[in-house]
Chain A
């Protein structure tokens, strides 16, 4: 980490920690909490999709498993769903092991679609095994905490952990291996990198933190059902949107993307009436056409252009 980056990070942490001191309105806090939830999912997805290049269309599976781990604890055993914050990520990571075995035999669009299918299988199975999951009736919990500030700090802590672990992985040997797999898997294999192993090393933490976000979601929103937490369009695809808006394969990209996604969505929803999703869609098209590597991704590209270095893509070869 360069000195400037370190300073930036510390400044960011300070701002994030101090925000509740200045913004007390629960509505704004709520929006920030949603941003953080999406930032966690996005950062986790980015580890697998952005750095390792394994674009997953099934992250809803991990999100849902995490959410249900927390929900089912309360539903069946009356244990506080906060324990789900421990169980959820572990459950998601465990689930990711067989998924990795199955899906990493495939590449590119085939991998993406296999993940899509697995995500959908999870949704349908959770809908149908009513004895365990309460099916479509969902799980309703009564949250014990009403103060938004507590939720905010817990979420912020989870995001900090996610960012830190991702940062460490990416800047270790594993990270370089992952990027090499993304850029040319055959070349990586021929250099002796056990590609499947390293892809799994990206998938497991990715699933773990997505599960963490899921468990937090259950605690915060207090109601889950399979059609919500295993949703293909609203979770699996939206997380890709978040990461791509912010910047693929960048540390802060998913967080920025989550901010844009939630804030814009909310601003449009409250100001534009029933055309809000239409305008949001137009904006997605415009952003991706003009900044194809996401906001953060293009920032570093611009910097490189300014300093007249060779314009290559950040995080690339």
Chain B
């Protein structure tokens, strides 16, 4: 054992040295491609979403290629994926590598808010156009960064636009609401927006807590909430926490007139699978649903399901739509310098599976698409659009029947 130790170590070090050299030299690119760097979490605990987005990017790319749209000018678009492991310093490394080593023309990706923040900051510093896919922190497009664009994702505090429209139309009447959010950037930003909207309309928040994701037992919090008798619960949760919360509400026989999730977990197929019939009548705000009346949305959903054997949710659609935006912008750019691409992105006006995408400056946001939001509700195991009125796929159920009356 001891005898071989040093030989093995030497072999290891040599291998390592060779690999380092190899990765350092991988920089030079061929002249006939225009590279797009995509940074997503492919390992770590966000990998499920990162993988879904990577698949969607590739699917969109193949479709575009088949249609001859990946050829822009005399160059071919090439996607370079980098793993950020869900860690922000790795995201920074990936950004540095793509920009300085691979000489990409523009960046995309960004799943978590933290990583998107870091990529956006670095990209702005290096004057590199960056198109955010999912990162929803308000700050990303509120810092006045000219090179940072967000099309397919709404700022966290704007996910609820349609829902508030529903309230203002008098469909939903609220006096006392309870607010529970996960302790993340997205959760906290959503909560801030929700509180402001409540204050504007004179709605009382009778219960307001945050929790850390991954809890097994939400019952103490829910029992406590039950004693405050809210009309409605607004919750922002990660997928499986969402399922745990509604399951345990059912176990506690705790009914409210309405339960609205703030995107994220409540629209996922995993949510329905894990919570079973407790998911019935749970509503959620969302940016996209497969049966929304936007051309291509249903096809994307079916194609993805056939190809990867799994239902995508709005995260996948964001990535899919983003690829189309990129192809569109690059085809309009005069050349592939960052200023020209930035200009082309700024002039974007394209229809995608996420609806029309346009980068505008409004309410303090820069290069932010005005989001289309929907309110959806689980009915008979299907996710149905219930609001806005003109695109609904079925009628809303409100107030929701109590657990024991179903």
Which of A's residues lie within 8 Å of B, judged by CB?
25-28, 30-31, 34, 124, 127-128, 130, 135-138, 140, 142-143, 146, 217, 221-223, 225, 227-228, 234, 263-271, 273-274, 276-277, 283, 286-287, 290-291, 295, 302
Min CB distance, A213 to chain B, in Å? 12
Query: Which of A137, A138, A140 has most B Cβ within 10 Å?
Result: A137
A122 to chain B, nearest CB (A): 14
Given contacts A140-B143, A222-B121, contact A276 B100 (CB under 8 A): no
Task: Give bound CA distance, A263 to B125, whole Å.
Answer: 24
Which A-B residue pairs are the 4 nearest by beta carbons? A27-B100, A30-B96, A27-B96, A26-B100
B121 lies within 8 A of A27 (CB)? no
B92: chain A residues at CB < 8 Å are: 30, 221
The answer for the CA separation of A71 and B150 in the assembled complex, in Å, is 26
Nearest CB of A to B186, in Å: 9
The answer to whether A142 touches B114, judged by C-beta atoms less than 8 angstroms apart, is no
Mind listing 13 A-B residue pairs with CB under 8 Å? A26-B96, A27-B93, A30-B92, A127-B183, A137-B139, A140-B121, A223-B114, A234-B87, A263-B20, A269-B85, A271-B23, A274-B42, A276-B43
Cβ contacts under 8 Å, B199 to chain A? none
Q: Which residues of B contact A290 (CB under 8 A)?
A: 5, 8-9
Q: Could you tell me the distance between the alpha carbons of A228 and B90 in the complex, rounded to whole angstroms? A: 12
Inter-chain contacts of A128 with B (CB < 8 A): 183, 210
Q: Is B188 an interface residue (CB 8 A)?
A: yes
- Residues A142 and B20 in contact, CB atoms below 8 Å apart: no
CA distance in complex: A259, B187 (Å): 36
The A interface, classified by DSSP as helix, strand, loop or mixed, is helix
Bound CA span A127–B44, Å: 21
Q: Bound complex: CA of A140 vs CA of B88, how far in Å?
A: 12
Contacts of B23 in A (CB 8 A): 266-267, 270-271
Decide: A221 and B88 in contact? CB cutoff 8 A.
Answer: yes
- Tell me if B212 is interfacial: C-beta within 8 Å of chain A: yes
Residue B327 is within 8 A (CB to CB) of chain A in the complex: no
A163 CA to B94 CA, complexed, in Å: 29
A228 and B88 contact, CB distance less than 8 A: yes
Contact B93 A221 (CB under 8 A): no
With contact pairs A27-B96, A140-B117, A267-B20 given, residues A274 and B47 touching in the complex (Cβ less than 8 Å): yes
Q: Chain B residue with minimal CB distance to A146?
A: B125
B interface list, Cβ under 8 A from A:
5-6, 8-9, 12, 16, 19-20, 22-24, 26, 42-44, 47, 51, 82-83, 85, 87-90, 92-94, 96-97, 99-101, 113-114, 117-118, 121-122, 125-126, 137, 139, 143, 183-185, 187-189, 210, 212
Nearest residue, chain A, Cβ from B181:
A136
Q: In the bound complex, do residue A223 and residue B118 qualify as a contact, i.e. CB atoms below 8 Å apart?
A: yes
| Contacting residue for B97 out of A27, A124, A127, CB 8 A | A27
Residues of B within 8 A of A276 (CB): 43, 83
| Partner pick for B185 among A30, A136, A142, CB 8 A cutoff | A136
Q: Which residues of the other chain, B, contact A26 by a CB distance below 8 angstroms?
A: 96, 99-100
Given contacts A138-B117, A221-B88, 14 further A-B contacts (CB under 8 A): A25-B100, A27-B101, A30-B93, A136-B184, A137-B137, A222-B121, A223-B88, A223-B121, A228-B87, A234-B87, A269-B85, A270-B82, A276-B83, A291-B5
Question: Judging by beta carbons under 8 Å apart, are A143 and B19 in contact?
Answer: no
Closest Cβ neighbor of A278 among chain B residues: B43
B83 — which chain A residues lie within 8 A by C-beta? 269, 273-274, 276
- Min distance, Cβ A290 to any Cβ of chain B, angstroms: 5
Please state if B121 and A271 are interface contacts (CB–CB under 8 Å): no
Shortest CB-to-CB span from B23 to chain A, Å, is: 5
Which residues in A have their C-beta under 8 angstroms from that of B126?
146
B42 closest partner in A (C-beta):
A274
Contact status B19-A271, CB under 8 Å: yes
Tell me the complex Cα distance, A267–B83, Å.
12
Asked whether, in the complex, the Cβ of A273 is within 8 Å of the Cβ of B42, the reply is yes
Most chain B beta carbons < 10 A, residue from A27, A124, A143: A27
Q: Please give, as numbers and ranges, the residues of chain A lying within 8 Å of B99 by CB-CB distance.
A: 26-27
Residues of B within 8 A of A267 (CB): 16, 19-20, 23
CB-CB under 8 A from A291, the residues of chain B are: 5, 9
User: A127–B188 Cα gap in the complex (Å)?
Assistant: 11
CA distance A25 to B96 in the complex (A): 10
Give every chain B residue within 8 A of A30 (Cβ-Cβ): 92-93, 96
Given contacts A27-B96, A264-B16, A277-B43, contact A222 B183 (CB under 8 A): no
